[in-house]
Amino acid sequence: MNLNDRLEHVAVLGAGGKMGSGISLLLAREMTLAKLNPENAGRNYQLTLMDVNPDALNGLQAYLEKQGKRFAEKKAEKIAALFPGMDDPTAIAEAFVAAQASILNPVTDLAAVGSSHMVFEAILENLDLKIRVFNQLKEACADTTYFFSNTSSIPIKELDEKVGLGGRIIGFHFYNPPAVQRLVELIIPENIAADLPELSREIGKRLGKIIIPSNDVAGFIGNGHFMRDGLHGIREAQRLSQEMSFIEAVYIVNQVSQDLLLRPMGIFQLIDYVGLDIFQSILKIMAPHFPGEVLHSDLIDILVSKDVKGGQYSDGSQKNGFLKYENGRPVGVYDLVKESYVPFSSGDWQGKADRWIGDKPEGHAPWKALLKAEDRDAQLKSYFAAMSADNGNGATLASAYLKNSREIGELLLNGGVANAAEDVNGVLMNGFFHLYGPINEYA
């Protein structure tokens, strides 16, 4: 079966979730465009949206309708040929949304997924749950169905072997939010159906994604770097908190990992964005695969046990974690002793922490400015040279951070997680919006 055939019947599992809803949107759009294409007359399209939570499915349908309308209005001119005799963008958008609605099949019963040729799985990151659900899928689906798991850390081989899917599963790891983020990490296990990798690349292309391969090792490239980078940040904050307060230490490491490393957000803001509980559970999944390494954090365990978890509310706004947020911006730090947030603005502790960090090395420019700079490489080179020559507290901390990140990158490369330095760098630059990859000449 080629991709056009497979695209007729597709399912998303966990469709109402954070990732599932974005994946559903991408597939709904692509399948609707295919349905409207006269070349496909006679084909029947169905996108089965499966989730155990009916409320999430209701929300998903409203979301798909809104996004479908927005997409069609924006692209009205481009897609007008699919609607002969229509030129009014509003009418085109309405017709597109109606066509999209006609292919959607929201269900709470997994048996309804049975006729799908491709199943995109985006349920919770829990090995036992995924195994249970894949067992049900194996029963429900034909033995020609292909499975695309969005797992961010579980080796695909483990899922395949525990369920006995016979190579019909691949890791298709979207980044959050899937409709916006262009990166997909493609995890190709050793034993795989011959046409599945190429088919997956083709789907990636149809969905407008940048595909970067990662080998089938727990955590893959993205979390392989992020987890270790996050643990480094946590260790640095714990070390600094021997000589200053915990809130100052967290603030400093967050500032340095954003500002001085020229990243879009600091490490604690990123852990908050992902969720401390998710960070904890990914570490738990990865740890047994790396017995020589400490992939664990007592501090994360303590914070999660106090319900300090980060993550997002259903409207997308940021929940408090290491940091407290107002309108998406950090405004305070969680104090472990007081068990409450201390605002940046209370007293002079923020000023003291900023003075501890010191002036930024020469040639510093904000991440956003460098993102657009034509001579970005030259600027980065001269900035990092200035940073390495700077003995200030902040620059020293940042240099160690940069070196640690490079070591993680090399570990991924030499440990067989990535086949090429450019794949490691590509994941960090496309998935995490770093201006430079960890395997660089700056550290």
Ligand X SMILES: NC(=O)c1ccc[n+]([C@@H]2O[C@H](COP(=O)([O-])OP(=O)(O)OC[C@H]3O[C@@H](n4cnc5c(N)ncnc54)[C@H](O)[C@@H]3O)[C@@H](O)[C@H]2O)c1
CA 107 to chain CA centroid, Å, is 26
DSSP string, 222-247: HHHHHHHHHHHHHHHHHHHTTTS-HH
Structure tokens at 90: 């509003």
Q: Which of 81, 98, 111, 124 binds ligand X (CB under 6 A)?
A: 124
Q: Which of 10, 11, 13, 304 binds ligand X (CB under 6 A)?
A: 13
- Binding of ligand X by 123 (CB under 6 A): yes
Q: Give yes or no for residue 111 binding ligand X (CB under 6 A).
A: no
Contact with ligand X (CB under 6 A) among 14, 189, 224, 330: 14
Residues 44-63 vs ligand X: string with x where CB under 6 A?
------xxxx--x-------
CA dihedral (180, 182, 185, 191) positive or negative? positive
* Residues listed for the chain: 443
Among 61, 176, 238, 382, binds ligand X (CB under 6 A): 176
Question: Which listed residue (152, 200, 241, 257) binds ligand X by CB under 6 A?
Answer: 152
399-428 per-residue burial string, b: 16 or more CB within 10 A, e: under 16: bebbebbbebbbbbbeeebbeebebbbbbb
> With binding defined as CB under 6 A, does residue 106 bind ligand X?
no
The rounded radius of gyration (Å) of the Cα atoms in the chain is 23
Query: Does the footprint of ligand X cover residue 17 (CB under 6 A)?
Result: yes
For residue 7 the two structure tokens come to 């695209």
Cβ proximity to ligand X: between 133 and 387 the closer is 133
- Binding residues for ligand X, how many (CB under 6 A)? 25
Cis peptide before 177 (omega within 30 of 0): yes
- C-alpha to C-alpha distances, 21 to 201, 220, 362, 443, nearest whole angstrom: 21, 23, 44, 39
Q: Beta partners for 212?
A: 185
By beta carbon distance, the residue nearest ligand X is 17
The answer to whether 269 contacts ligand X (rule: CB under 6 A) is: no
Q: How far is the CB of 61 from ligand X (least distance, A)?
A: 13
238 binding ligand X? (CB under 6 A): no
Q: Does 412 bind ligand X (CB under 6 A)?
A: no
Q: Is 158 in the site for ligand X (CB under 6 A)?
A: no
Can residue 435 be called a binding residue for ligand X (CB under 6 A)?
Answer: no
Residues 6 or more apart whose CB falls under 8 angstroms from that of 377 comprise none
312 binds ligand X (CB under 6 A): no
Edge-to-edge order in the sheet of strand 340-343 = 323-326, 329-335, 340-343
Q: Quick one: which of 125, 158, 229, 236 contacts ligand X (CB under 6 A)?
A: 125
Q: In the complex, what is the shortest distance from the CB of residue 403 to ligand X, in angstroms, rounded to a whole number?
A: 27
133 sits near ligand X (criterion: CB under 6 A): yes
In the complex, which residues of this chain contact ligand X (CB under 6 A)?
Answer: 13-14, 16-20, 50-53, 56, 122-125, 133, 150-152, 173-176, 274
